[in-house]
Amino acid sequence: MPDQRPGAPREKFGFATRAVHAGATPDPTTGARSTPIHQTTAYVFEDADHAASLFNLQTFGYIYSRLTNPTVAVLEERIASLEGGRGTVCTSSGHAAQLLAFFSLMEPGDRFVASRNLYGGSVTQFTHAFKKFGWGVDFVDPSDPKNFEAAIGPNTKAIFCELLANPGGVIVDLEAVADVARKAKIPLMVDNTLATPFLCRPFDWGADIILHSTTKFLSGHGNAMGGAVVESGKFDWFASGKFPSMTEADPAYHGLKFAETFGDFGYTMKTRAVGLRDLGPTMAPLNAYLTISGIETLHLRMAAHVTNAQAVAEFLAGHPKVAWVSYAGLKSSPYHALAKKYLPKGPGSVFTFGVKGGYDAGMKVVETVELFSHLANIGDTRSLIIHPASTTHRQLTEEQRVKSGAGPDVIRLSIGIENVDDLIRDLDTALAAT
């Protein structure tokens, strides 16, 4: 397995430099400057001793691509560097990252506290699929950090939230929630998909584990699925006695104790050597390659995304056919102050607005736009639009839809990096048609 300890301190170079270079060097055999796509399943051992020590986790190196791959390793190192973390495990999707992140922490019967304002798929995964592993979730309103504290019980093993939540532009007071987690001696896990490390670095505010759907802004071009689990390296697994899978002998690894043997990257090793090995949601080398290429322009793209989003939000807020706009970059947002604190460069580019005329008007807008693509994704260079009530939230009752921020009039936008005047004209034409 590759040693994720960097030779040089991570923060020696600025963000843009690390976005372009971290984890990558010219290929030693060919001189190839772009990271090669190592499209191989397995790696030849030097000799029998080498093979044995690799299997015992005594040597870092490559065995089999379900566990490690040189192209994926470059991406893992790059994401760790951008987040200021100690190690990263990449996965086949954001949902796979969430599964592995909890698999390294939880025993059957354990629970975790989660913000109720999450990506819809995460709510479903936590509520239904995780139940089959014996893991329970307690959802809380994230607007008051005390709600997280009140929901913690003896078997609670983590707190989970999205710093910047989709939809609705909800921002969680990360520093306060990190305090709650620290007092309870449990890790704070933050899904940083919508902000990306360019807009906010949750480790700087006390988070312990960061999750990404790299499918979104990190790959950035809507062409590669992927996920990442990032470890800060600062969480004390021994303090509470609550994490036997980190601190006790692992029967599937001849009694190895991950936190003791690997120290500040023990969680990364556990997630890879047990989670990836036994559950298997590995990132494909081609997807890692596309995501590495995408990240090289992350700082440029995110700056354009937030500038465009602010302009579109301001245009909509002043439009007579728009009932409301929920974007934390607007002074009218209840999250404006938290946005200034945690996301000073801008609160992302995904937000919702309400069109006057309800369900039919919402349908009309998504049918009339030409530049915006009507689809279920976010974080693409292209601007995207969806009417949740007639698509993603169609199966819910009217009441459930309103509660989850998907009422009949709600339209969600993911603002891309096109010319903003063109985006505004497209929306203006669509609104005129309602």
Ligand X SMILES: *Cc1c(COP(=O)(O)O)cnc(C)c1O
Chain positions contacting ligand X, by CB under 6 A? 93-95, 119, 121-122, 162, 166, 191, 193-194, 213, 215-216, 225, 227, 378
Shortest distance, position 414 Cβ to ligand X, whole Å: 10
Shortest distance, position 360 Cβ to ligand X, whole Å: 28
Q: By the 8 A CB rule, do 409 and 356 touch?
A: yes
Q: Which is nearer to ligand X, 136 or 348 (CB)?
A: 348
Alpha carbon of 203 to those of 86, 253, 325, 422: distances in Å?
11, 30, 30, 37
Alpha carbon of 202 to those of 151, 177, 206, 237, 420: distances in Å?
22, 11, 7, 19, 29
Shortest distance, position 288 Cβ to ligand X, whole Å: 14
Shortest distance, position 351 Cβ to ligand X, whole Å: 13
Shortest distance, position 106 Cβ to ligand X, whole Å: 18
Q: What is the dihedral of CA 295, 89, 56, 250, to 10 degrees?
A: 170
- Backbone angle region of 241, left / alpha / beta, with phi > 0 → left and psi within -120 to 50 → alpha: left
SS3 content of the chain, % helix, strand, coil (to 5): 40, 15, 45
DSSP class of residue 42 equals B
Q: Which is nearer to ligand X, 166 or 232 (CB)?
A: 166
Give the three-class secondary structure for 71.
helix
Q: Which is nearer to ligand X, 23 or 227 (CB)?
A: 227
Shortest distance, position 14 Cβ to ligand X, whole Å: 26
Shortest distance, position 156 Cβ to ligand X, whole Å: 21
Shortest distance, position 12 Cβ to ligand X, whole Å: 30
The residue with tokens 């005329």 is 357
Q: Which is nearer to ligand X, 81 or 213 (CB)?
A: 213
Q: Which is nearer to ligand X, 93 or 104 (CB)?
A: 93
Q: Which is nearer to ligand X, 65 or 193 (CB)?
A: 193
Q: What is the dihedral of CA 250, 275, 174, 331, to 10 degrees?
A: 180
Q: Which is nearer to ligand X, 23 or 222 (CB)?
A: 222
* CA 181/CA 293 separation, integer angstroms: 35
Reported as type and span, the H/E element at residue 75 is: helix 70-83
* DSSP code per residue over 288-347: HHHHHHHHTTHHHHHHHHHHHHHHHHHHHHT-TTEEEEE-TTSTTSTTHHHHHHH-TT-S
Q: By the 8 A CB rule, do 282 and 276 touch?
A: yes
Shortest distance, position 352 Cβ to ligand X, whole Å: 14
**What type of residue sits at position 76?**
E
Q: By the 8 A CB rule, do 125 and 99 touch?
A: yes
Q: Which is nearer to ligand X, 192 or 333 (CB)?
A: 192
Q: Which is nearer to ligand X, 58 or 377 (CB)?
A: 377
Shortest distance, position 312 Cβ to ligand X, whole Å: 19
β-pairing, 164-165 vs 170-171, is: antiparallel
Total residue length of the chain: 434
Shortest distance, position 211 Cβ to ligand X, whole Å: 7
Half-sphere exposure of 339 (CA within 13 A, CB side): 23
Q: Which is nearer to ligand X, 121 or 357 (CB)?
A: 121
Q: Of all residues in this chain, which one has the CB nearest to ligand X in the complex?
A: 94
The residue with tokens 């009507």 is 374
Q: Which is nearer to ligand X, 78 or 95 (CB)?
A: 95
